[in-house]
């Protein structure tokens, strides 16, 4: 089958033939019809040490094409969305409705009955399965629990966005920040997650939403998608304090800016993936005196097994216009072109179509 292989940390991708074994006990094979390229896919090898060679991708939707022994659901022909978080359901976070923080989070190499090695190889040499999903491919093999049932009425191109970017941003707004009707909200970063947070803030009833980004192109796009205003980061400090600030970048300087832009009694939610070792300095008296709340947010506080129906309902009702985040589609063979355009901020999200 055809897949995009990253041979060295940071790329580029090499679209070529890769061997994929059939699903074993407890596993399913999924033909990938659409997948998104998330910014984190580009940092997994350079920042977080995922070994190469590797097939990345974790925003994938498709159709189950084969099932292993012992699998009763999903069935061949079912539409599914691939989940990169597959909670155990029994640990302390799972029991407290924090399944996105599962301490025994399964991957496709740790699922019930799954073998210990990657299902991918080239000429007998193992290729890593990035995020235990590897959706930059015609087909992938994952545990049955990672193939979440998808309403067939949802287009695969839209569903792919529900794999990571949309639940992360929307969840940051409605689950972690708990945006309320009448809130004034600022969102730092106007990438796919930041703009998903804008859509989530609108769902929560925010009266005013301001996007903050250094790119004029992204600022213009932010207003088109739903922000009331979009400003350069240098303008944020002079604006009236906000009830809620969502940092969708996650750098020390952006979190500090978010802190300073928040009113007394307001909240700051950091959903952007920070870098290991970065430190944030907060005045201890200000923390006490101003009662600001600084909250981390992993994956939007959502898991697909629990929250995909919520996202589908919001989308189908017209309250979550996911299509506004999508610039177009491209064949998997153009993945390097897509990665460059997204990295430069020229487009927000182009969905890859591995099967054409």
The kind and range of the H/E element at 60 are strand 59-67
Per-residue pLDDT band at 106 (split at 50, 70, 90): low
Q: CB–CB of 86/28 below 8 Å?
A: no
CATH topology of domain 2-163+326-353: Quinone Oxidoreductase; Chain A, domain 1 (3.90.180)
- pLDDT category, 88, cuts 50, 70, 90? confident
Q: Could you tell me where in the chain the CATH 3.90.180.10 domains are found?
A: 2-163+326-353
Residue range 86-111: mean pLDDT, rounded: 76
CA distance 135 to 32: 7
Give the closest residue to 271 by CA, choosing from 297, 292, 295, 245: 297
Please write the tens of the pLDDT for every residue from 303-335.
Answer: 999 999 999 999 999 999 999 999 999 999 999
Q: What rounded mean pLDDT belongs to the chain?
A: 93
Q: Where are the alpha helices (DSSP H) in 64-148?
A: 92-95
Per-residue pLDDT band at 164 (split at 50, 70, 90)? very high
pLDDT at 113: 37
Q: Is 51 exposed, middle or buried (0-12, 13-18, 19+ CB in 10 A)?
A: exposed
Total residues found in the chain within this entry = 356
Q: CA angle at residue 355 from 349 to 356, to 5 degrees?
A: 70
At 173-231, the pLDDT tens digits run 999 999 999 999 999 999 999 999 999 999 999 999 999 999 999 999 999 999 999 99
Are residues 208 and 184 in contact, defined by beta-carbon separation less than 8 angstroms? yes
DSSP code, position 176: I
pLDDT score, position 263: 98
Distances from the Cα of 237 to the Cα of 113, 173, 308, angstroms: 54, 21, 37
Least confident of 7-16, 44-53, 76-85: 44-53
The answer to whether domain 166-298 has CATH 3.40.50.720 is yes
């Amino acid at each position: 089958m055809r897949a995009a292989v990253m041979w060295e940390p940071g790329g580029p991708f090499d679209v070529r033939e890769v061997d994929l074994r059939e699903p074993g006990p407890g596993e399913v094979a999924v033909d990938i019809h659409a997948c998104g390229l998330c910014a984190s896919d580009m940092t997994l090898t350079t920042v977080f040490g995922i070994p190469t060679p590797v097939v990345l991708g974790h925003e994938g939707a498709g159709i189950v094409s084969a099932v292993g022994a012992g699998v009763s659901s999903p069935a061949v022909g079912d539409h599914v969305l691939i989940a990169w978080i597959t909670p155990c359901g029994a640990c302390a976070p799972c029991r407290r409705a924090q399944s996105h923080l599962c301490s025994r989070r399964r991957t496709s190499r740790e699922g019930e009955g799954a073998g210990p090695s990657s299902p991918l190889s080239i000429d007998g040499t193992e290729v890593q399965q990035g995020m235990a999903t590897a959706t930059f491919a015609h087909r992938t093999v994952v545990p049955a629990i990672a193939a979440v049932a998808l309403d067939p009425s949802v287009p695969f191109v839209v569903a792919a966005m529900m794999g990571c970017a949309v639940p992360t941003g929307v969840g940051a707004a409605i689950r972690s920040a708990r945006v309320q009707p009448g809130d004034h909200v600022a969102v730092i970063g106007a990438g796919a997650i930041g703009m998903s947070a804008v859509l989530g803030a609108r769902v929560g009833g925010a009266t005013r939403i301001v996007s903050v980004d250094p790119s004029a192109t992204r600022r213009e796009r932010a207003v088109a998608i739903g922000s009331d205003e979009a400003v350069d980061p240098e303008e944020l400090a002079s604006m009236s304090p906000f009830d809620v600030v969502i940092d969708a970048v996650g750098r020390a300087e952006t979190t500090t800016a978010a802190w300073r832009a928040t009113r007394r009694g307001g909240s700051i939610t950091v959903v952007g993936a920070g870098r290991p070792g970065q430190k944030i300095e907060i005045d201890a008296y200000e923390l006490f005196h101003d009662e600001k709340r600084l909250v981390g947010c992993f994956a939007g506080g959502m898991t697909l097994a629990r929250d995909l129906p919520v996202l589908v309902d919001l989308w189908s009702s017209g309250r979550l216009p996911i299509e506004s985040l999508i610039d177009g589609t491209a064949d998997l063979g153009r993945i390097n072109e897509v990665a460059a355009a997204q990295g430069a901020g020229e487009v927000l999200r182009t969905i890859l179509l591995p099967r054409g």
